[in-house]
Structures are given as structure tokens and as C-alpha cells.
Amino acid sequence: MANPATLRNLVKRYETLRSAHARLGTSESRRQLEDVSYTLCVTTGTRTVPDALAAAAVQLRAVPAGASLAPAPGAAEVQLTA
């Protein structure tokens, strides 16, 4: 199971980039969307974005109320690079 903070960040980034790509339609916005889509799928152990989003929703719902969503000490945030 992915760190909840990392997973929530990936979902938010995916939604932001999907919206940006719909608006801009550039090769750069497409590449960024593909990168975050791939990372989201790998993080959730799925092969498609719809499956990844569904898996993320299930995992995030399983986080107990009031639980810290901060990354574990020393855990690095996911960085997408070319």
C-alpha cells in the first residue's frame, strides 16, 4: 500500500495535469500527463488510469480518520523527471 500522502499527491497532480492538457493540448502537457499516469499506475499496481484511480480511492478510504497523511520520516516525495 502506497503512503497515503504520496498517493493523494499523485491523484491531485494527475487531475491538475489532465485539466491542463485538455486546456493546452501541447506535447509538454501530454508528456507530463503520461508521466504522472504511469507513476500512478505503478504506485497502485494497476495497468490503466481508471483502475489506478479506483485503487487509489479504495486505499485512501482505508486510511483511519485523523491518521497522519505525512510521509514517513526520510521518505522522499515522488519526483517525475524526463
pTM: 0.76
pLDDT of res. 10: 96
Do residues 40 and 59 make contact, with C-beta atoms less than 8 angstroms apart? no
pLDDT per residue over 11-69, tens digit each?
A: 999 999 999 999 999 999 999 999 999 999 999 999 999 999 999 999 999 987 656 55
Does any domain span residue 52? yes
pLDDT of res. 73: 53
Does any domain span residue 73? no
pLDDT of res. 64: 76
Provide long-range contacts, Cβ within 8 A and 24+ apart, for 28-33.
31/82, 32/80
Does any domain span residue 68? no
Domain count, the chain: 1
Does any domain span residue 67? no
Per the structure, the complete domain to which residue 32 belongs is given by 4-61
